[in-house]
A = this chain, B = another copy of it.
Amino acid sequence: MKDLNELQSIISKAVAETKYPSQPPDLYEPISYILSLGGKRMRPALLLMACDLFGGDVNKAIKAALAIEVFHNFTLMHDDIMDRAPLRRGKITVHEKWDQNVAILSGDAMMVEANKLMLQVDDAILRPVMDIFNETASGVCEGQQYDMSFESRDRVSADEYINMIRLKTSVLLGGALKIGALIGGATEKDASLLYTFGEQLGVAFQLQDDILDIYGDPEKFGKQVGGDILANKKTFLLIRAQELADDITATELQNWLDTVDPDPQQKVAAVTAIYNKLNIRQLATETIQIYAGRSFATLDELDLPDSHKQYLRAFADSLLVREY
Q: Answer yes or no: A284 CB below 8 A from chain B CBs.
A: no
B138 touches A109 (CB 8 A): yes
Q: Answer yes or no: A123 CB below 8 A from chain B CBs.
A: yes
What are the residues of chain B within 8 A of A109 when measuring CB–CB? 138, 141-142, 145
What are the residues of chain B within 8 A of A101 when measuring CB–CB? 81-82, 148
In the assembled complex, the Cα of A131 lies from the Cα of B142 at a distance in Å of 26
Residue in A24, A131, A137 whose Cβ sees the most chain B Cβ within 10 Å: A24
In the assembled complex, the Cα of A109 lies from the Cα of B137 at a distance in Å of 8
- Distance from A223 Cβ to chain B, minimum over Cβ atoms (Å): 25
Interface size class of A (residues with CB under 8 A): 35 or more
Picked from B119, B137, B138, the residue with its CB within 8 Å of the CB of A131 is: B119
What are the residues of chain B within 8 A of A141 when measuring CB–CB? 27, 105, 108-109, 112
A142 touches B27 (CB 8 A): yes
A145 touches B104 (CB 8 A): no
User: Which residues of chain A (113-133) have a CB below 8 Å from chain B?
Assistant: 113, 115-116, 119, 123, 126-127, 130-131
Closest to A133 in B: B115
In the assembled complex, the Cα of A117 lies from the Cα of B111 at a distance in Å of 16
Q: Answer yes or no: A78 CB below 8 A from chain B CBs.
A: yes
Q: Answer yes or no: A26 CB below 8 A from chain B CBs.
A: yes
Q: Answer yes or no: A232 CB below 8 A from chain B CBs.
A: no
Q: Answer yes or no: A144 CB below 8 A from chain B CBs.
A: yes
Q: Answer yes or no: A224 CB below 8 A from chain B CBs.
A: no
Q: A82-B101, A104-B81 are in contact. Are A145 and B27 (CB under 8 A)?
A: yes
Closest to A138 in B: B112
Closest to A114 in B: B134
Q: Answer yes or no: A221 CB below 8 A from chain B CBs.
A: no
Picked from B27, B75, B107, B112, the residue with its CB within 8 Å of the CB of A134 is: B112
Q: Answer yes or no: A311 CB below 8 A from chain B CBs.
A: no
In the assembled complex, the Cα of A278 lies from the Cα of B108 at a distance in Å of 40
Q: Answer yes or no: A146 CB below 8 A from chain B CBs.
A: yes
Residue in A107, A145, A149 whose Cβ sees the most chain B Cβ within 10 Å: A145
Interface 0/1 of A130-165, CB less than 8 Å to B: 110010011001101110110000000000000000
Q: Please list the residues of chain A having a beta carbon within 8 angstroms of any beta carbon in chain B.
A: 21, 23-24, 26-27, 75, 78, 81-82, 101-102, 104-109, 111-113, 115-116, 119, 123, 126-127, 130-131, 134, 137-138, 141-142, 144-146, 148-149
30 A-B contacts, Cβ less than 8 Å apart?
A: A24-B142, A24-B145, A24-B146, A26-B145, A26-B149, A27-B141, A78-B104, A81-B104, A82-B101, A101-B148, A102-B145, A104-B104, A105-B141, A105-B148, A107-B108, A108-B108, A109-B141, A109-B142, A112-B134, A112-B137, A112-B138, A112-B141, A115-B115, A115-B134, A115-B137, A116-B138, A119-B130, A119-B131, A119-B134, A126-B127
